[in-house]
Structure 1
Amino acid sequence: MKFTVLGGSGLIGSKVVERLRAAGHDVVPASLSSGVDVLSGKGLEQALSGTDVVINLTNSPTFDEASIGFFETSMSNIGAAAEAAGVRHSVILSIVGVDKVPKLDYYLAKVTQENILKNGSTPYSIVHATQFYEFVQGIMSMTTEGDTVRLPSTPVQPIAAADVAAAVAATASDAPLQGIRSIAGPDVFPLDELGRITLAARPDGRSVVTDEEAGMFAVVPGTVLTAPEDADLAPTHYRDWLQQS
C-alpha cells in the first residue's frame, strides 16, 4: 500500500514512516520542509496523489485558542484533498479523554479536528493516546520556579512515543475503524509522583512540590487522562524508558 504521512518528520511521524517502510510499504513523508502546507493547502494534492492511506500527524504550533483554527483549517483541507484523491483511509492521532476537558483550548481544538474527520466522506480511524513519556520534562519545565517544580496529583498513564508510533502504523495498515482505538502506557501515576520519579532518575537540583492548582493539568477532572476499559496497553514502562533513553 501507499501511505502519505503528514507531519512525517516529527516525533511520532518519523517513527511511523520508519515502521511502515520496514513493513515494505511505499511511504511519502510530507511536511512544511517538503513543500506541503496543510493550512494553505499547498502541495496537498500532489502529496496525496495515488495514496491509499493518509496519516495526519501535523500539530498546532500553539496550545492556546489559536489551535482551534489550526485544526479546523488543516483538517478541512486534508479532508477535501483526500476525497479528491480517492484516499481509502484517513488516520489521525488524538488524546485519551480529549472530550472531557472543556477548559483546555487545545483539547477543544482536537475535538474539532475529530468531528471534521468523522463528518467527511473518507473512511477513518482515530487513535487516542495518553501523554508521551517524552513530554514529561516539558510539563515539568512549565511549572518550574527556581529549584521547585509544582505539579498537581492528577492521575496520568503516559506512553512511549515508539509505542504510539507502532499503534498508529498498525491501525493505518488495517481496515478503517470508523471509530476510535485507545492506547496507553502500562502504569498509572499521580503527575507529581511522576515528576519525582523523573528527578530521582535524572537529578538536576530541582524538587517536586504538590500543588493542585499548578499547570494545565490542574483543570483535568478525575481519571479522564488514564486508559479507558477498552484501551490497548503498551509494553514499555516509564522507569525502564528512563534508563534506556
Structure 2
Amino acid sequence: MSATPIFDVPPAPSVEIAGGAGVFPVRRVFCVGRNYAAHAAEMGNEVDRAAPFYFTKSAHAVIPSGRAIAYPPGTRDCHYEMELVIALGADAFELDEAAAMDAVYGYACGIDLTRRDLQAVAKEGRKPWDLGKDFENSAILGPITQAGDFGAPDAQAITLDLDGRRVQEARLSDMVWSVAEIIAHLSRYYHLAPGDLIFTGTPAGVGPVARGSVLRGQIDGLEPVTLTIEG
C-alpha cells in the first residue's frame, strides 16, 4: 500500500539554458567561501590555502535573473556578492582534477545575497552561517551557457554594477581555487550529480543593497544576471 502525501511541495526550481536549449533543474547548491584573496582581506580574513571550504544554500533559494524581490526579512545589512557559477551535468565522485572538468555542463553569472549582520553574529559566536546565507531569493542565476560555448574559465572579467556604478571588478584567474580544484575537492565528500550548482566565491567590493537597488552582474562570455530590490 503506497502512502499518500499529506500536502504538496513546490517543484525543484529550474534555470534557463542560453540559446533556448531547455531548462536546467536545480538539485543542490554549494558555495565556496573566501575564494578571492582581496575579498577575504576586506572581510578581515585570511585565505586558508590548505583546502577550500564551503557552505550551502537550499535549492529553493534559487531564482532566475530579471526578477524583482522584496528586501530580505530579518536583516538591516543585506549584501551583494557576484560569482561565477558551475552547473554540473554528470556524476562526480572522488574525481581527480584531470577528470573534474568532464562533469561540467556549463557556467552562469550568479549573485549570492548575504544577510551580513546575521552572518557576523554567527561568526562571532562560532556558529553556522545558515541565517546569513540560506534564505529565499538569495541565489540569483543568469541563463546557463554550455561549457563548449564558453571555454575554460581563465582571465575573463567578472564585474557587478549597482545602480549603474561599478562596484566589483576582477578576473576569474584571481580565484584561489580553480574550477577543477573545487570540483575534485568537493567530490571527495559528496556524490555530486547533474543539477548541482557551485557558486565559486566573490571578488572584493561587496556592499549593501537598499530598497530600489538595481544590480547587473557580468562575466565575459556569459549572459548577465540582473536583480531589482523592490522599493
TM-score normalised to the size of structure 2? 0.28
Higher alpha-carbon Rg: 1
